[in-house]
Structure 1
Amino acid sequence: MKFTNTTNIKDFIIMGFPGLPPAYYNLVSVLLLLLFLAIVVGNTFILTVIVRERTLHKPTYLIFFHIAMTDIAFAAVTLPKIIARYWWNDMISSFGTCFTQMYFVHSLGAVHSFLLLIMALDRFIAIWFPFRYPAVVTNTTICIACVLCWVITFILMMGVVLHALTLPYCNQNVIMQCYCDHVSITRLGCGEGVTYVLDVALANALFTLLVPLAFIIFSYFSIIVGALKMSQAERSHKVMSTCAPQIFTTCLYYVPRCFVYLSYNLGFTFSVQARVVITMMYSLLPALVNPAIYCLKTQDIKMALTQRFRKGRSRIAHRTDRKGALK
């Protein structure tokens, strides 16, 4: 096939789940809409609880706050278009819109990864340096660190997107994915620079994935070692109250991604359908499950919600008693 040096396509076609029979389009669109609403409502609930409860105005919960924001933003960037694809058969995404979506998809993923790094560092200092923790890890330092994650990552990802824009896109415009991502787009490029652009993007992805993961593994391993030196009662309370939610959320984010990367490197191949489903699962499952983990596994949030519920019940009972007395 002969390629030209200029981009002559104006739109990309989002295939979504390849091979899905049209009879299931309405069902899939409804399921995706419910998934979107669950992610938005669940994470908005977490944001509201953290903002309204003064007892949760602590460094750890500020990190939870930023993670919840990335989950909402990622769902808002990816799901509406794929819902429209199956609800109204709207498969077309303009050239600029597709690259914009790619930019936010990878930026938010990288921000999430570095927020998990900050969360692991927070727990590491809390366990190993408990007396210095209040002075070193404050709300101000965590806010600055989280904001820097957002700003620096969005600036760096702009370079990745601009690098992909240097490729000409000549003949192919079908994306076998539910949203525009770097690999799906750049593989449609033409010319000799495609491999180089893909290699640079892979190196960037591995940096944003493996560097935080390496420290996270070291951090939680150190925390477990430190916990083993404590008494039995203190150890179980310390690990469950400070580390369990973070370990769950970290595993949900990293384990599926590492599985996919290792599978590719070890020569295992997936069908296009399986690849799309796996990508959607590891992209959206953490955002769906995280609110439940925070509520069920984080002691302070459970206590705040329990107290709020008891106050609500007592107010209702008081109003009922007053109405009965007036009668």
Structure 2
Amino acid sequence: MTYTNETQTKDFFILGFPGLLPQYHGPYYGPVSATLFVMYLAIALGNTFILTFIFYEKSLQKPTYLVFCHLALNDLAFGTVTLPKIISKYWLDNSIISFYGCFAQMFFVHYLGAAHSFILLVMALDRFIAICIPLRYPVLITNKAILLLCALAWFMPVSLMLSIVLHTLTLPFCKSNVIVQCYCDHISITSQACGEDVQTVQVATLCMAMFCLLLPLAFILFSYFSIIVIILKMSNAEGRYKTLATCTPQIFITCLFYLPRCFVYVANTVGFSFSLDVRILLVLLYSVFPAAVNPVIYCFKTKDIKETLMNKLRKTKIGVQIKLSH
């Protein structure tokens, strides 16, 4: 059968969780929409707080915390791109997304994921230089240098992701218009395409995705391995603990981003299959859950941020007590 490039699909239908019973769908008060809304609220408030707190607290405007700002902005954008639509499905029973709206969402999903990966690389570079060559750190890692590196992390994936979207748009869509996912991504969209070029597009996209994920991951593994070697060579136990504490938040954040993805990819490679609902839930958790958890890690696992925050709270408490006493 010969297909033309004429697209027959005008809209896509977001499936969400296909095995979910109808009683969990309820408008406004439904447990699924409520859970997703609380998660989005946590992402929005938590990451906005981090951005605002570091912006107004001059003592925290250092290279390490500027990287946190870029991660917070990325997490905030990703949550905003993905969650409102699936919330509206279960909250307002609105499952329809326009054809080009779905492609726009796909672009931002993959672009923000790739940018996040490159920002994690910048974060690993910051810790690598700080611990492995500390004497060069003040010269090599400045606020201006970090802003430039983070700008590159945001800019580099743009052309790659645009090429993926434009390449996918050339495909004819003549299958079902159901997106078997909570948001539009490349796999769910191309699975609705037909024609001889589908596999070519999928392979090319996979290569670009591996470049954006595995290239940063290779350097990240190298940098943290080097850091661990340096720490193990330290004779002072207190020095080892303090040095490890300076990169603990970065390790947690990196693990939250990469480990679930690696688990899903490895499980699929070895033939371990998940049910459709479990697979969708796993994808939602490893893509959205870190965005909600990261602000907590910044606040409670980063010494300077935690101490500054606690000092602010103490001063506020003292001020309130003084006002009440008068």
Which amino acid letter does the alignment assign opposite residue 242 of structure 2? H
Aligned to 1:8: 8
Letter paired with 1:168: P
Q: TM-score, normalised by structure 1?
A: 0.95
Alpha-carbon RMSD across the aligned residues, in angstroms, is 1.2
Q: Does 1:217 align with 2:224?
A: no
Alpha-carbon distance in 2 for matches of 1:100, 1:259: 28
Change in 2 beyond 3 A, CA 1:135/1:19:
same
- The equivalent residue for 2:240 is 235
- The aligned counterpart of 1:121 is 125
After superposition, the Cα gap between the structure-2 partners of 1:5 and 1:165, relative to the gap in structure 1 and judged at 3 Å, is: closer
Q: Does 1:166 align with 2:173?
A: no
Aligned to 2:18: 18
| SS at structure 2 position matched to 1:169 | coil
CA distance in 1 between partners of 2:38 and 2:138 (Å): 41
Q: Does 1:204 align with 2:185?
A: no
What is the alpha-carbon distance in structure 2 between the residues aligned to residue 3 and residue 260 of structure 1? 33
Deviation of 1:166 (Å): 1.1
Residue 157 of structure 1 corresponds to 161
Matching residue within 139, 156, 161 for 1:135: 139
Q: Which of 95, 99, 106 is the equivalent residue of 1:95? A: 99
Q: TM-score, normalised by structure 2?
A: 0.96
Aligned mates of 1:205, 1:138 — CA distance in 2: 30
Unmatched runs of 5 consecutive residues or more in structure 1: none
Q: 1:41: which partner in 2?
A: 45
8 A contact 1:36–1:75 mirrored in 2 = yes
The Cα offsets for residues 257-278 of structure 1, whole Å up to 9 and x where unpaired, read as 0011111111222221111011
Find the aligned partners of 2:145 and 2:122 in 1 and give their Cα distance: 11
Give the counterpart of 1:265 among 244, 262, 269.
Answer: 269
**Identical aligned residues as a percent:** 55
**Which residue of structure 2 lines up, in the alignment, with residue 253 of structure 1?**
257
Equivalent in 69, 82, 85 of residue 78 of structure 1: 82
Distance 1:221 1:237 in 2: 17
Segments of 5+ residues of structure 2 without an aligned counterpart are none
- 2:237 partner amino acid: Q
Q: Is the 8 A contact 1:4 1:170 kept in 2?
A: no
Q: CA deviation at 1:152?
A: 2.0
Number of matched pairs = 321
Alignment pair present for 1:183 and 2:183: no
